[in-house]
Amino acid sequence: MEIVNVKINAAAETSYPIFIGEDILENAYLYIKKYSKAKKYLVVTNTTIFPLYGEKLKNENTEFLIIPDGEIYKNVEFLNKILDKALEIKLERKDAIIALGGGVIGDMAGFAASVYQRGIDFIQIPTTLLAQVDSSVGGKVAVNHKLGKNMIGSFYQPKLVLSDTNTLATLDERQFKTGLSEVLKYAFIEKSCNCDSSYNLFNFLSENKYKVLNRDLKTLNLLINICCNLKSSVVNQDEKEKGLRAILNFGHTYAHAIENITDYKVYTHGEAVSIGMKLIFDLARSLNLITDDYYEKSLKLLNDYGLILKMNFNPDKENFYRIMQSDKKVNNTLINFVMPVSEGAVEIKSDIDKNMILQGI
């Protein structure tokens, strides 16, 4: 069992634990009761996850809301369904909403918990690799609007996170790779996370490729622990993304445009991020920000993990640029790029020439 403690702005009273390991779901309520005084729980999950893991959370104090599976349901309509259900079952201020699922369920259930009766306890039980290393940690919760992804949301930290790595066994290869893309992201930003511990995740990933790809649980437990520690360090320093937290968006500036231009139907988030990371390494090399040696090493790592590195179509460049400019992380039309500058280190740059940005598209 691995435990990571997330502290927000170094304040002990807003800290929460992430439990990482096998068979955690079997004893979920033992963990939950230590960190929440809830008497009643609403578990939000979906039609894929409920038949796999729903049984493990059933008890006399728990009700379930099972929503259809897919990013298209992460919207205000389904947020309302969660709130309707919470009211119907008379969930009270001291009760809790539990998210059982990937990032879609976690983001939406977390947002519901943040607004229901001005905020009730929220418990994350992430079941995808992406959710275990990224979305369940750090408190970003949201739903999509038809004019933009994650446009309606808040920062709302969970009471605890239960990452049962047994759940990763049922994840299909595509979704597993999607999570790995975010894992590699941490290797490229590790030194800029200002974490107390030094992991050299880049080397860890190079040396343990087969164990990771074969989903060796001991290796995955350690890997998730490292990623959560790195993210926790960043969130501790900058919960509301005033500065440092933006480094977690390494590769995402391109990725968001790729997802948007393909109407979120062609690539998973992680696939768009791996293409985005390749584009950012190309850009950094063109700008002489990194050595050829680091460029080659990074591309090798991305290739070794079999991540998608190229779009399968040629987008209209002007449209692509316009979409990048409309991203919510853009300030005054200047596009902020998290650029690699040396092994495992990044810097935010916003003065990059448009032609250079579009060169690799």
Active-site residue set: 118, 140, 182, 231, 241, 245, 249, 252, 256, 269
User: Does residue 103 touch ligand NAD according to CB under 6 A?
Assistant: yes
Name the region of 288 (left: φ>0; alpha: ψ -120 to 50; beta: rest): left
Which residues, 102 to 141, sit near ligand GLY by CB under 6 A? 134, 138, 140
Q: Out of ligand NAD, ligand GLY, none, which partner does residue 158 contact, by CB within 5 to 8 A per kind?
A: none
Report the nearest approach of ligand NAD to the CB of residue 36 (Å).
20
Q: What is the dihedral of CA 21, 216, 128, 303, to 10 degrees?
A: 140
Closest CA to 279 of 238, 227, 317, 326: 317
Q: Out of ligand NAD, ligand GLY, none, which partner does residue 103 contact, by CB within 5 to 8 A per kind?
A: ligand NAD
Helix (H, G, I), strand (E, B) or coil at 329: coil
Q: Residue 136 has which token pair?
A: 């369940």
Identified binder of ligand NAD from the candidate list 102, 251, 276, 340, rule CB under 6 A: 102
Helix (H, G, I), strand (E, B) or coil at 105: helix
User: Does residue 329 touch ligand GLY according to CB under 6 A?
Assistant: no
Q: Out of ligand NAD, ligand GLY, none, which partner does residue 221 contact, by CB within 5 to 8 A per kind?
A: none
DSSP string, 49-73: HHHHHGGGG--TTEEEEEE-SSGGG
Q: Give the interface size with ligand GLY as a residue count (CB under 6 A).
A: 5
Binding mask 239-278 for ligand GLY (x = CB under 6 A): ------x--x------------------------------
Q: Which is nearer to ligand GLY, 20 or 189 (CB)?
A: 189
Determine the longest span between alpha carbons in the chain, in angstroms: 61
Residue whose CB is nearest to ligand GLY in the complex, by number? 248
How far is residue 292's CA from residue 75's CA, in Å, rounded to a whole number? 43
SS (H, E, C) 120-185: CEEEEEECCHHHHHHHCCCCEEEEEECCEEEEEEEECCCCEEEEEHHHHHHCCHHHHHHHHHHHHH
Residue pair 163/215 in contact by the 8 Å Cβ criterion = no
Which residues, 141 to 200, sit near ligand NAD by CB under 6 A? 150, 167, 170-171, 175, 178
- Range in contact with ligand NAD (rule: CB under 6 A) among 98-106, 193-201, 233-241, 299-307: 98-106
Identified binder of ligand NAD from the candidate list 130, 228, 279, 301, rule CB under 6 A: 130
Beta bridge partners, 342, equal 345
Report the nearest approach of ligand GLY to the CB of residue 302 (Å).
19
Q: Residue 155 has which token pair?
A: 């920062």
Q: Give the interface size with ligand NAD as a residue count (CB under 6 A).
A: 28
Q: Which is nearer to ligand NAD, 143 or 290 (CB)?
A: 143
Closest CA to 215 of 350, 305, 148: 305
User: Does residue 215 touch ligand GLY according to CB under 6 A?
Assistant: no
Question: What CA–CA distances, in Å, run from 71 to 123, 138, 256?
Answer: 20, 20, 14
Binding site for ligand NAD (CB under 6 A): 46, 48-49, 52, 69, 71, 74, 101-105, 107, 127-128, 130-131, 134-135, 138, 140, 150, 167, 170-171, 175, 178, 269
Binding site for ligand GLY (CB under 6 A): 134, 138, 140, 245, 248
